[in-house]
Structure formats: C-alpha cells, structure tokens
Amino acid sequence: MSPVVRTISATQHRAWIASRPAVSFLQLPEWGQVKAGWRSESIGWFEGSELVGAGLVLFRPIPRLPRRSLAYLPEGPDIDWLHSQFPQYDISAWLTPLLAHLRASGAFQVKMGPPVPTRRWEAETIKAAMAQWREPDGSPPAHLHEVVADWHSILALHLAERLESRGWRQEEATGAGFGDVQPRYVFQVPLQGRTLDEIFAGFNQLWRRNIRKAEKLGVVVSLGERADLAAFHQVYVETAKRDHFTPRALSYFERMWDELNRHSDSRLSLHLAHVDGHLAAATLMVVVGDHAWYSYGASTTADREVRPSNALQWAMIQRAHAAGCAVYDLRGIADTLNPDDHLFGLVQFKVGSGGYAQEYVGEWDFILRGSWAKAYALYQARRG
C-alpha cells in the first residue's frame, strides 16, 4: 500500500503548512508565484481522505516544448522521510506515486531536496579546526566534512542509501562543496529555551564588539516597507558588483514581498540599517512556523567600519526570538576551512554567531526520460 498523490489547492497546501512546526519557505505555494518562468503545482499525499504529506513542485519547461519539463521540489517535499509518523510506509511508498504523478505531467527528470539533516558541527568545533591552520607543523582539515561531527543521524545516512538503491542520484559537489541548487551546508542559531542575553553571550567576541560598535557609532535599525525595496536594491546591486555575482532585478524582490506577505503580513520582513541619515545595509528575513531564515543581505563598501551587518543580524535574531522561533537560519556556507579560499570569510562570519553548521542529505535526481534529460543538460551547458 502507498499513499495516493494528487494535485491539491493552494488553500489546502497552506492549511497543511500551518499545521506543521516548520516547512521551508521554498515549499510555500506562494513561492511558485515568485519564480517567474516556472510553472508550479501543489501536490498532496493522501491516505484515504486524509492528507499525510505535501509539496510544491516547480516545472521548468524545455524551450519551445512546454509539455516536457524538469520537475523540482526545493527543500521538499514535506513527507515522513524517517518513518516516525507512518512506519508502515517505506521510502518507495512515498516516492513511487510521486514519480508516476510527475511523469504523467510531462516531467523528464525530478530533482528534490529532502529537508533531512545528516550532521552537525558546533561553533567551537569549527573554530578549533580553523585554529589548526595557524599551527606551523599541523595538518589542518581543508573541508568541514573532514571534521568529526558533534551530532549525526544514522537514519539520514540510511535514507541516502535507500535513495541510491532505488535509482536516485546526486551530482558531484564542485568547488568548495556546492553541488546542489540549494545549500547542503547551512549555519543555524538555536533560539528555543534561550534568553536574548544567553544568545548574545553565545556570539564570539568580534560579533559582540561589532554590535556594540554599531550602536555607539549611531547605526539605527528599523523595519522597512515595500517602497523601501528600491533603496535595498540599490545597495544590493553595489554588493553584487563588489562580490562578483549577478544581481536579481528589483521586480523579483517586489514579487517576493507581494506573494509571501499576501496571506501573512509578517512572513517577509525588510530590515534597514541607517547611519548619518543614509542606508548602510539592508536584509530580508522570512519566517515560516518556528523557523526564521536570513534570505538576502546587502551593504555599502563605504560603511563597513560602522558594522551595520552585525547590527542587522542581531535585530533579526531578536525579531525571530520575539516571534517564538526555535531556529534562526543564516542559510548557506561553503564546505571549506581553508583561509585562502575566497568563501572562507563567509564561513568565519557565520561561525561568529555561536550556532552550529548543519549538513543536509542534499539534492537528488531521478531520470524519467533519459533522452530528454540529456538534451536538457546539453542546453543548460550551452547557456553556461
């Protein structure tokens, strides 16, 4: 026996998410409206008439062949991956009807990202590994995955084995550990059961000093409105030029604001840091259930010395704590501990929050139509 998969309405999907402790914001039905160029569908797993799982599928069609598409479930779907609620169903019972449903919808390939953590490294463990780079005769670990984790999940490892045995595949990680569309490694700060004083004390000395410095130098953090997205975007474009990435258009962030706040006016919030009357930095935060995510950030080069980024992070953590969130998620980090790596600085910054690095089981692909999947891969390669 397997649950039955069928299309559900956005209203049904939102009701499911509201009943859960937390589901990735990338699985909100509204996220499908944010992603221009993709078609979206909310799907549900049913045991009889009872909804027992749900997911958002994004379909990316092949140019000029809209009936054939890549089906992508970012950080989803939300099903009983580890058999804690429905032990009668193995992983095939969940995924076989999913594949059948998506194949009937014209998908040639399915990509999904099970939201299942595999390993966790506390900040102190990571800092100790980083310190080995300063030892003259040491053999320091170049990557986080080479360090013994403080916590690991046998069930998650078994899940990966079962997926592979059933024909699911993972792309090889490239560079400093990025082989997925969504980050496999993230950095999180636990909030549940901790006071703000305890959270602040957990920051490293540099974070605490920079937050106090920002306050002393007159950095003022406030909440922005939709109209302030234009100012955020100007700083964001400056950040993109400095850090060598392609910026998204202002319309993308306006669409995020409109869609994510359509059914909850506090889902997406804009945080602004002003100094001497001008915008020094800005960030976006998303909250779903008891989970808060730092989504986007931007800062001016000229104002770096007043430390607006630390001030913004502290403000968002306080807002997430006040909202009853259990976790503040700083999102992706690279799998690198090498100080010479250009991505090391971001790892070092997030480690300063005093939380932990968490690895997920990663993204997995299943090929439904081999010739179409190869043609799409060639098309993507030519696009660069």
Helix (H) or strand (E) holding 348: helix 344-351
For residue 63, the tally of other CB atoms under 10 A from its CB is: 7
Q: How far apart are CA 77 and CA 81, in angstroms?
A: 9
Q: Enumerate the β-bridge partners of residue 364.
A: 112
Gyration radius from the chain CA atoms: 21
Q: Show Cβ contacts of residue 262 under 8 Å, excluding neighbours closer than 6 positions.
A: 30
Residues 185/190/191/195 CA torsion (nearest 10 deg): -140
321: nearest Cα among 195, 214, 149: 195
For residue 332, the tally of other CB atoms under 10 A from its CB is: 17
CATH class of 118-151+171-360: alpha beta
pLDDT of residue 178: 42
- pLDDT tens per residue, the chain (384 residues)? 789 999 999 999 999 999 999 999 999 999 999 998 899 999 999 999 999 999 999 999 877 777 889 999 999 999 999 998 888 999 999 999 999 999 999 999 999 999 999 999 999 999 999 999 998 887 999 999 999 999 999 999 999 999 999 999 998 655 444 445 899 999 999 999 999 999 999 999 999 999 999 999 999 999 999 999 999 999 999 999 999 999 999 999 999 999 999 998 889 999 999 999 999 999 999 999 999 999 999 999 999 899 999 999 999 999 999 999 999 999 999 999 999 999 999 999 999 999 999 999 999 999 999 888 887 888 777 765
Q: How far apart are CA 184 and CA 170, in angstroms?
A: 12
Which two tokens mark 5?
A: 């998969």
Which two tokens mark 218?
A: 């007159």
The CATH fold assigned to 4-113+363-383 is Aminopeptidase (3.40.630)
* Tens digit of each residue's pLDDT (9 = 90 or more) over 316-341: 999 999 999 999 999 999 999 999 99
Sequence-distant contacts of 283-286: CB under 8 A, at least 24 apart: 283/309, 283/312, 283/313, 283/316, 284/232, 284/253, 284/256, 285/316, 285/319, 285/320, 286/25, 286/260
Taking a C-beta distance cutoff of 8 angstroms, is the pair 256, 34 a contact? yes
Q: How far apart are CA 185 and CA 168, in angstroms?
A: 20
Q: Do the bridges between strand 220-224 and strand 268-275 make them parallel or antiparallel, or are there none, so unpaired?
A: antiparallel
pLDDT of residue 173: 56
148: nearest Cα among 172, 171, 120, 123: 120
Q: What pTM was computed for the model?
A: 0.94
Q: Where in the chain is the domain with CATH 3.40.630.30?
A: 4-113+363-383, 118-151+171-360
Where would I find the beta strands (DSSP E) of 229-375? 268-275, 278-288, 291-299, 327-332, 356-360, 364-367
Q: How far apart are CA 138 and CA 131, in angstroms?
A: 10
Residue for token pair 């090929």 = 367
Q: Residue 37 — left, alpha, or beta (φ > 0 → left; ψ -120 to 50 → alpha)? A: left
DSSP 8-state class, residue 183 = -
The widest CA-to-CA distance across the chain, in whole angstroms, is 65
Beginning with the edge strand found earlier in the chain, give each strand of the sheet holding 364-367 in spatial order: 4-7, 39-47, 50-62, 65-73, 107-112, 364-367
Sequence-distant contacts of 200-205: CB under 8 A, at least 24 apart: 200/314, 202/353, 202/354, 202/355, 203/352, 203/353, 203/354, 204/123, 204/127, 204/351, 204/352, 204/354
pLDDT of residue 136: 85
> 212-234 b/e with 16+ CB inside 10 Å = b?
eebbeeebebeebeeebbebbbe
pLDDT of residue 177: 44
Q: How far apart are CA 25 and CA 363, in angstroms?
A: 16
236: nearest Cα among 259, 253, 256: 253
